[in-house]
Amino acid sequence: MDYRSQENTRTERRIVQALDGKTLSPPPVWMMRQAGRYLAEYKATRAEAGSFLDLCYNPELACEVTLQPIRRYGFDAAILFSDILVVPDALGQPVRFEEGIGPILEPIGLDAAAKLDPSVVTEKLAPVLDAVGLIRASLPSETTLLGFCGAPWTVATYMVAGRGSSDQAPTRRVAFSDSAGFDRLIDRLVEASIRYLVAQFERGADAVQVFDSWAGALDEEGFERWAVDPMRRIVAGVRAEIPGARIIGFPKGVGMFLERYVDATGVNAVGLDWSVPLDFAKRLQKTCAVQGNLDPMRLVAGGEALKSGVRRVVDALGSGPFIFNLGHGVTPDTPVENVAEMVALVRGETV
């Protein structure tokens, strides 16, 4: 599929319109982790796959789970089913997922990191890219297809520490102790991310999101060096290959640093976690579209907590370029009927 030849169809999709700066009423809606364990059909497919990574690397099954929430709720976007850690896996640092623990990697030293070869990523991730093509071919024409990757800082935290932590202290210590060596790891991940995202666009993605889930662990200097600058380079690198590529950044938990991130990176939209004040979010709309930011626990609780939360977010941000989403991913204990109600509330439908 030629990205450029699809542009006329692409620009008709509602989320693409929002990313281009248009105000839409009602706003488009999708959810982070919308294909996942809160859905019975996902759990059945996951069991069929055998393991989480087997599911990520099986194009047909990855396509199936990506489509499941679209069939059920009619979201305005489908997001590729995969994981941010397929990139280090492709680079030769094996990843496994343990139930109740999460991802486990053999920690990589910075000397070894300097020898990583980003050019292998698209070949190693061919099954994931095949899934992108299958999903695009299977989606309704009006539905946006989002690709994604993890931001270099967030991916590096897992590569260096071997697993996640609440404050990323192991990776911060390494980064401050050998900043030049850590920069080299970030450089490899920037190049790998550009190659991977470009390939997703070429297979049919309309836009991509870059998840910097642990950006909030960085101080001001570290945020500039290891979150802002890598994202700026990714945006520029992708657009050098895919002119006009639409890119969403999601630096979670960074507070007031969001203004600097938006100004410096050139993203089309910024994802907002649920702690971002809505009046501050409205200021960001002067520069780019915003996406978010309902607290996922309101979706779990349902009732008036859900209704008032949706109403506040839409009322505050609906008069500018805006994509409704959660402030982080949907959780496994979310009632499926609450998701249906949320979508109806956003769209102004009777529930």
Determine if residue 35 is labeled as part of a ligand binding site.
yes
Active site residue 14: no
Extract the tokens encoding 161: 């520490």
Extract the tokens encoding 213: 């889930």
Q: Which of 10, 13, 14, 33 is catalytic?
A: 33
Determine if residue 219 is labeled as part of a ligand binding site.
no
Residue that has been written with the tokens 């900043």 in this structure: 179
Active site residue 203: no
Determine if residue 158 is labeled as part of a ligand binding site.
yes
Determine if residue 225 is labeled as part of a ligand binding site.
no
Q: Which of 37, 72, 96, 184 is catalytic?
A: 37
Burial 185-219 (b: 16+ CB within 10 A, else e): bbbbbbbbbbbbbbbbbbbbbbbbbbbbbbbbbbe
Q: Which of 14, 38, 83, 206 is catalytic?
A: 83
Secondary structure string (H, E, C) spanning 267-305: CCEEECCCCCCHHHHHHHCCCCEEEEEECHHHHHHCHHH
Active site residue 83: yes
Gap between the Cα atoms of 150 and 41, Å rounded: 26
C-alpha torsion 93→94→98→101, nearest 10: 0
Active site residue 46: yes
Strands 102-105 and 77-79: unpaired
Determine if residue 33 is labeled as part of a ligand binding site.
yes
Gap between the Cα atoms of 20 and 173, Å rounded: 39
Q: Residue 328 in 3-state DSSP?
A: coil
Determine if residue 119 is labeled as part of a ligand binding site.
no
Determine if residue 126 is labeled as part of a ligand binding site.
no
Determine if residue 34 is labeled as part of a ligand binding site.
yes
Active site residue 167: no
Q: Which of 42, 158, 196, 261 is catalytic?
A: 158
Q: Which of 10, 13, 14, 46 is catalytic?
A: 46
Per DSSP, the residues of 20-88 read TT---SSPPB--TT-SSTTSHHHHHHHHHHSSHHHHHT-HHHHHHHHHHHHHHH--SEEE----TTHHH
Determine if residue 175 is labeled as part of a ligand binding site.
no
Asked if residues 6 and 137 have their Cβ atoms less than 8 Å apart, the reply is no
Q: Which residues are annotated as a binding site for substrate?
A: 33-37, 83, 158, 213, 328
Q: Which residues are annotated as a binding site?
A: 33-37, 83, 158, 213, 328
Task: List, by residue number, the catalytic residues.
Answer: 33, 37, 46, 83, 158
